[in-house]
Amino acid sequence: MSSYRLEKGGQIDRTVPLNFTFDGRAMRGFRGDTLASALLANGRQLVGRSFKYHRPRGVLTAGAAEPNALMTIGSGGRTEPNSRAPMQELYDGLEARSQNRWPSLDHDIGAINGLLSPFLSAGFYYKTFMWPAKFWEKLYEPVIRKAAGLGRATHEADPDAYEKCWAHCDLLVVGGGAAGLAAALTAGRTGTRVILADENATPGGFLLSETATLGGQTAAAYVANILAELGSLDNVTLMPRTTVFGWYDGQVFGAVERVQKHVASPDANQPIERLWRIAARKAVLATGSEERPLVFGGNDVPGVMMAGAMRTYLNRHAVAPGRKTAIFTTNDSGYALASDLEKAGIEVAAIIDSRRDAGFDFAGNAHVIRGGFVSNVLGRSKVEGIEIWREGQSERIAVDNLAMSGGFSPVIHLACHRGGKPRWSNEHAAFLVPDGLKDLHVAGAAAGVWGINPAMRSGCEVSVAALAELGISASPCNIPEIEGAVASLSAQPLWCIPGIRAKAFVDFQNDVHLKDLGLAVQEGYGHVELAKRYTTNGMATDQGKLSNVNAIGLLAEARRISPADVGTTTFRPFYTPVSFGALAGAAVGKHFQPVRKSPLHDWAARRGATFVEAGLWYRSSWFPLPGETHWRQSVDREVRTVRQNVGLCDVSTLGKIEICGADAAEFLNRVYCNGFLKLPVGKARYGLMLREDGFIYDDGTTSRIDENRYVMTTTTAYAAGVMNHLEFCAQAVWPELDVRLASVTDQWAQMAIAGPKARTVLQQLVDEDISNEAFPYLAAREVSLLGGRLRGRLFRISFSGELAYELAVPADCGESVADAIMLAGKVHGICAYGVEALSVLRIEKGHVTHNEINGTVVPADLGMEKMVSPTKPDFIGKHMVHREGLVDPDRLQLVGVVPIDPAHSFRTGAHILQKDAAATLENDEGYVSSSCFSPHVGSTIGLALVKRGASRHGEEVQIWNGLRNEFAMGRLVSPVFVDPRSEKLHV
């Protein structure tokens, strides 16, 4: 295929070729490739443009920290920007596109930013675009945002499904490298519940990139055997392709499993990703280490790669980095790479070891330069050579690629997620996990233990220790004989490199280079948290995985202090980016929230109702008849029909709570501000519920069905809140009261039958006498219906001001009872009415809802001060309701309002001003809380909360809506527009 793929070797399956495209160009890889390895095998070194300077960039790593090879994968709704090519498994048909370039990756106009770089230094936004201020929003920011950037998200809907799950285990092992495998095997063999999570398709970590043998087997074969054993254990769950991204309190770990991100056509019956919360009694952190780049000129030129990554591509994917390699290292790992390269037939021109007295005795052909540095890379879009600095002398050699290794930083992110600060170790030249970790044990390279054998031993020991804390005794798994491994990784930190001429990058993803950090220190932003924000170092989506420690080292050297004193910035979840899809899980579209439908929903739908969302409920808002083209026509007709004949309205959504127990009456007496002790059996009473601060919380009727059995109704919106509140009162405030509560909202279909002919219609269904004498206003009783076929609850209560009843029947009988009422009412001109007409009827009658009871209102504001019992020793709200500010005569009080000219109208929210006052907020005297067109009055009417409103009936006012520039002259009137003496209720 291409000249970069080696003839043999690697863990790829050459019998399964996979076709894919990059920027539309057809390429081919094999099963076992990642997108990055396949691109490299195809000779594609330039894979992206950098964030700010649009510099050509190549694959830098072979793992999760990749800052350069970010691409957009997929098309249509499956477009995923900023995917890290080394983490993306290759599949047949994969479409990848490079980002942040125009018109093409090879010819990118934005690269001119590189020439402008003197003006784009750290803090350049703040310095350059200060003036004129108004240019920022319109010109500077859009232009900067367009030029600097990552991939673009699609606007199409994501066609795939996601889900969220919980998992529980005794021991969670994070990371399946040498240490993690040993820990999992040690624990797994005890029979305890173990989860091994690894972010790659195959656990094994760097073992899969090794040429060392374990017990005479290749490392890959050894890993396969261990995985086979773990897989055979019922108590062990292997979770490949799963990134544990956060450690939270309560020993909960967050993880995302990429279930189908590696397949060509996802199975619609499986999620594409799964978000896990793993509750683990103990955990082992075996996340390995991150190799650090070195900061020299041109260290970002395509062809410069991390030494470990080069080894992975060489050994695991059989990809050659080029023809002629140089290796710049501060530690022994570079020699392992050199040896592997030479075995694969690739010339290693030089190993440049920054240590003057490196003890490693290299047996290969490569020329070893001790005490040397690579100070610059020659070439712009590919490596053409390097400049080596040694003892003040500069020497150039021609190579076409360069490996670098600046030492290793343990991957300790998770260990710091709960607030612990990492601590610097001079011995390791790295930050280690915080002290005093509880329930999280650290093993292998994550603990600064280098080498296969020590890492495995560490994994065993840590696993044994973690299990011991659970009272489980385990014996360490056996560790095989290891041959051919580079034993020691002893490193000396190397921050500042001499002889740099070109840009030397610290943060590749955010294009922060050495001089930016110097500038930060020079300008007084040398503190690590300030330097981070001033330069944006570590603020890209890789969160500084490669750059943070180097930045700290460079800041330390510039300030002549130890990295320990520079400190680190805070590690926060997520370890790597998590898709919004996974976080949302199944809660999208129709599943975003539940839909609540009344038992009469289908009945209303059959009658052509228009529905309106009210919280989770769908309520019927009006019932258009043929020929009605405007909602007002329907609503006005429904209102008139109720006032003249009779109507039926679904009120099932009102909250219904049954309250039982010997102390139920006493309980009600304490939760309502008005008295309930003397409510007789068979009667309903309107109740006002206050908050402890004296303001009204909710209202509704409560009926005494039996000696110790009440049924309370609440408003639709506050049904759940009132239930929680009552439970709080019953359990936490007065647990000594014998009272039981049950929400029965969903158990009953409830309908209001209102209008002068309501009794005539209803009597046809109700077996008992419901005449005014037998069933007077506020009667509330269980009744027999339809010749004893059914029992229901009948309440003579009225929201509309008409003769009215509410009938509750078991939910599953709701539709047939409603049909029966409509049939019985047909000759009396009955109609179904919705919440829109319900609202008009109640405004006409001056009844309040949460439009008025809006959290700012006390009973006196509504003229209900007499409902506040002066005699009860205690009730919720009693002790605050009479505070000075709540009895102020200047408070806003309920009042009605009408336009002086009936042709004028106004809206809810409009403000009330005195007749001659200027329309300013200073002159504001209150506002319209509810309004509608009243067929009864023949104009718009409103309820309003107005200063001293109750004593201002008859006063002319202005009704002003400054937002909509609407204005009407009005008059304050009684809030009761219909039947002010309530005679209709008692007929």
Span near other proteins by CB under 8 A; candidates 121-129, 545-553, 877-885, 892-900: 877-885
Q: Is 724 in the site for other proteins (CB under 8 A)?
A: yes
**Using CB atoms within 10 A of its CB, is residue 437 exposed (0-12), middle (13-18) or buried (19+)?**
middle
Q: What is the number of helices (H) and of strands (E) in the chain?
A: 23, 51
Is 279 a binder of other proteins (CB under 8 A)? Answer: yes
- Which residue in 19, 478, 731, 920 binds other proteins (CB under 8 A)? 731
Of the candidates 874, 890, 916, 922, which one interacts with other proteins according to CB under 8 A? 874
727 binds other proteins (CB under 8 A): yes
Report the residue number, 628 or 693, with the smaller CB distance to other proteins.
693
Q: 879, 953, 964, 986: which one contacts other proteins (CB under 8 A)? A: 879
Enter the tokens of residue 423: 């601590």
Rule CB under 8 A: is residue 693 a binding residue for other proteins? yes
Q: Which of 382, 418, 904, 948 binds other proteins (CB under 8 A)?
A: 418
CB neighbours of residue 693 within 10 Å: 15
Binds other proteins (CB under 8 A): choice among 52, 545, 757, 878? 878
Q: Which of 24, 118, 250, 436 binds other proteins (CB under 8 A)?
A: 250
Give the whole-angstrom CA distance, residue 831 versus residue 604: 12
- CB of residue 249 to other proteins, shortest distance in Å: 4
For other proteins, which residue of 692, 738, 746, 782 counts as binding (CB under 8 A)? 692
Residue 832 tokens read as 């179904």
Instruction: Pick between residue 197 and residue 314 the one whose CB is nearest to other proteins.
Output: 197
How would you classify residue 45: left for phi > 0, otherwise alpha for psi between -120 and 50, otherwise beta? alpha
441, 465 Cβ separation under 8 angstroms: yes
Of residues 394 and 731, the one with the C-beta less far from other proteins: 731
Residue 753 CA, chain-centre distance (Å), reads 45
Q: Stretches 175-183, 306-314, 533-541, 721-729: which one binds other proteins (CB under 8 A)?
A: 721-729
Shortest distance, position 661 Cβ to other proteins, whole Å:
14
Question: Is 886 an interacting residue with respect to other proteins (CB under 8 A)?
Answer: no
Query: Using CB under 8 A, which of the segments 248-256, 462-470, 615-623, 649-657 binds other proteins?
Result: 248-256
| Beta strands in 132-216, from DSSP E residues, in sequence order | 162-174, 194-197, 213-214
Q: Which is nearer to other proteins, 279 or 564 (CB)?
A: 279
In the shown chain, the binding pattern of residues 606 to 645 toward other proteins, with x for contact by CB under 8 A and - for none, equals ----------------------------------------
- Nearest approach in angstroms of CB 195 to other proteins is 17
Indicate the residue among 720 and 976 with the shorter CB distance to other proteins.
720
For other proteins, the binding residue among 144, 150, 201, 252 (CB under 8 A) is 252
Stretch that binds other proteins, among 59-67, 186-194, 471-479, 727-735 (CB under 8 A): 727-735
Q: Which of 305, 285, 302, 286 is nearest to 294 (CA)?
A: 305
If one asks whether residue 732 binds other proteins (CB under 8 A), the answer comes out as yes
Among 248, 484, 823, 980, binds other proteins (CB under 8 A): 248
Token digits of residue 294 = 């070195």
Burial environment of residue 777 by CB neighbours within 10 A (0 to 12, 13 to 18, 19 or more)? middle
Does position 163 interact with other proteins (CB under 8 A)? The reply is no
Q: How far is the CB of 374 from other proteins (least distance, A)?
A: 46
User: Which of the residues 515 through 574 are near other proteins (CB under 8 A)?
Assistant: none
Applying CB under 8 A, does 166 fall inside the site for other proteins?
A: yes
Asked if 132 touches other proteins (CB under 8 A), the answer is no
For 725-750, give the secondary structure using H, E and C: HHHHHHHHHCCCCCCEEEECHHHEEE
Residue type, 530: L
Burial class (CB in 10 A: 0-12, 13-18, 19+), 113: buried
Residue count at the site for other proteins (CB under 8 A)?
Answer: 24
If the CB atoms of residues 727 and 901 are measured against other proteins, the closer one turns out to be 727
- Placement of tokens 């360490």 in the chain: 476
Q: Please, is 252 exposed, middle or buried when counting C-beta atoms within 10 Å of its C-beta (0-12, 13-18, 19+)?
A: middle
Residue type present at position 722:
V
Strands (E), 683-803: 684-690, 696-706, 709-714, 740-743, 748-754, 780-785, 790-795
Q: Interaction with other proteins in 316-345: which residues (CB under 8 A)?
A: none
Query: Least distance (Å) from other proteins to the CB of residue 169?
Result: 14
Q: Which residue, among 305, 289, 198, has the nearest Cα to 241 in the 3D structure?
A: 198
Distance separating alpha carbons of residues 864 and 852, to the nearest angstrom? 13
392 binds other proteins (CB under 8 A): no
Q: What tokens were used for 744?
A: 């029965």
Q: How far apart (Å, rounded) are the C-alpha atoms in residues 28 and 19?
A: 5
Binding part of the chain for other proteins, among 31-39, 398-406, 748-756, 870-878 by CB under 8 A, reads 870-878
Find the part of the chain contacting other proteins (CB under 8 A) among 62-70, 242-250, 331-339, 439-447: 242-250
Beta strands of 411-481 (E only): which ranges?
423-425, 430-432, 440-442
Give residues in contact with other proteins (CB under 8 A). Answer: 166, 248-250, 252, 277, 279, 418-419, 692-693, 724, 727-728, 731-733, 735-736, 873-874, 878-880
